[in-house]
């Protein structure tokens, strides 16, 4: 299935049905009076987060969603039928933005969460509503209220526990392939990964979700390369795993490039817990490993772990470190929720 994380859709709720002008007509009843019914209400447009979806690809082939109009009222005090609602089924983690692509209308982060995007119009009153002591035969009725037309953007931000960061060919896809059942494309050229991949990783009886996004390059926050399109997918992650290519000749510059990009991107990415890993150590001897780790630690200001996604060396230690950070983040979230200050 092709991955799509941004879609523009056009919505229109149903218009209300018109009220009816009608009078009772029966044999031997000379003055039956008004009996026009009200129009039905127009259908609403809803969005709902459902299970089993991880892409917005369905909205590439259908962009227009129109709810049914309400039926008009009829004689004998019969109210018209309400229009059927329409529901946009979206993946969990979908943001709904206004037409300006900036105003967030809703953020569906929980399964089953629903939001009303366009309310249907009310049905018009029939002439029965206008009967009074001074106007016992009203010949007027209200038209139904018009539906609402609007354009919204759907933006998917994958909900994962760990987000992988690194330059192209830093070994992110290899790490995901080695630790989960995900099978991303792996090759020795930049931008092999063209869309995010998710993998479920297990360690010591615990499972968590890892998101692999296309590699970042300098200027990604300004739209260069592919990374800027997909950085939103790591906004929700509890911890970031920063992989640094150990066989790169510009190792320190590579590290700083990623740090600069996530700081320039904003959205709180720079404040998230981050684990720095020197990758591809299977191509280094012990002396080179020690030297490069010390250099990287001096620049990063934190402990640097050693790992090889290809040979599996150091993978278990990295996964355990990730698991511990995720548990700390989850505990903090639960405490904030108990205090009433947690925000999704």
Q: Which positions make up the binding site for Mg(2+)?
A: 173, 193
CB-based contact 254:295 (threshold 8 Å): no
Please state the residue numbers annotated as binding site for GTP.
Answer: 166-173, 191-195, 212-215, 279-282, 308-310
| 220 close to 231: Cβ distance less than 8 angstroms | yes
CB 281 within 8 A of CB 170: no
Looking at the chain, how many residues does it have?
Answer: 344
For 150, how many CA atoms within 13 A lie in the half-sphere containing its CB? 21
Cα separations in angstroms, 164 against 29, 199, 209, 274, 294: 80, 11, 11, 10, 22
3-state secondary structure 59-128: HHHCCEEECCCCCCCECCCECCCCCCCEEEEEECCEEEECCCCCCEEEEECCCCCEEEEECCCCCCCCHH
Residue 157: left (phi > 0), alpha (psi -120 to 50), or beta? beta
What does DSSP say about strands 162-165 and 149-156: parallel, antiparallel, or unpaired? unpaired
Show binding-site residues. Answer: 166-173, 191-195, 212-215, 279-282, 308-310
Contact 237, 211 (CB under 8 A): yes
């Amino acid at each position: 299935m092709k991955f799509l994380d941004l879609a523009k859709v056009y919505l229109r709720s149903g218009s209300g049905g018109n009220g009816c002008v009608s009078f009772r007509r029966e044999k031997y009843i000379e003055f039956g009076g008004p009996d026009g019914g009200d129009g039905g209400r127009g259908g609403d447009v809803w969005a709902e987060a459902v299970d089993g979806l991880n892409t917005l690809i369905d909205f590439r082939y259908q962009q227009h969603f129109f709810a049914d109009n309400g039926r008009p009222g009829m004689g004998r005090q019969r109210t018209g039928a309400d229009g059927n609602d329409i529901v946009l089924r979206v993946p969990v983690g979908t943001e709904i933005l206004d037409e300006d692509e900036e105003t967030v209308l809703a953020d569906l982060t929980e399964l089953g969460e629903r939001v009303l995007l366009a309310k249907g119009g009310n049905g018009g009153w029939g002439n029965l509503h206008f009967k009074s002591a001074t106007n016992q035969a009203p010949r007027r009725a209200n038209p139904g209220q018009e539906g609402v037309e609007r354009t919204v953007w759907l933006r998917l931000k994958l909900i994962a526990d760990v987000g992988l960061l690194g330059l192209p060919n830093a070994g992110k896809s290899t790490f995901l392939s080695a630790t989960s059942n995900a099978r991303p494309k792996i090759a020795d050229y930049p931008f092999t990964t063209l869309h995010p991949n998710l993998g479920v990783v297990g360690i010591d009886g615990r499972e968590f979700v890892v998101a692999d996004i296309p590699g970042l390059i300098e200027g990604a926050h300004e739209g260069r390369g592919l990374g800027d399109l997909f950085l939103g997918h790591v906004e929700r992650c509890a911890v970031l795993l920063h992989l640094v290519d150990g066989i790169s000749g510009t190792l320190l510059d590579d590290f700083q490039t990623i740090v600069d990009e996530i700081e320039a991107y904003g959205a709180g990415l720079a404040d998230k817990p981050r684990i720095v890993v020197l990758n591809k150590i299977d191509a280094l001897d012990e002396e080179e490993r020690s030297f490069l780790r010390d250099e990287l630690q001096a620049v990063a200001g934190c402990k640097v772990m050693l790992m090889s996604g290809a040979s599996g060396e150091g993978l278990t230690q990295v996964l355990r470190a990730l698991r511990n950070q995720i548990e700390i983040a989850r505990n903090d979230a639960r405490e904030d929720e108990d205090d009433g200050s947690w925000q999704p």
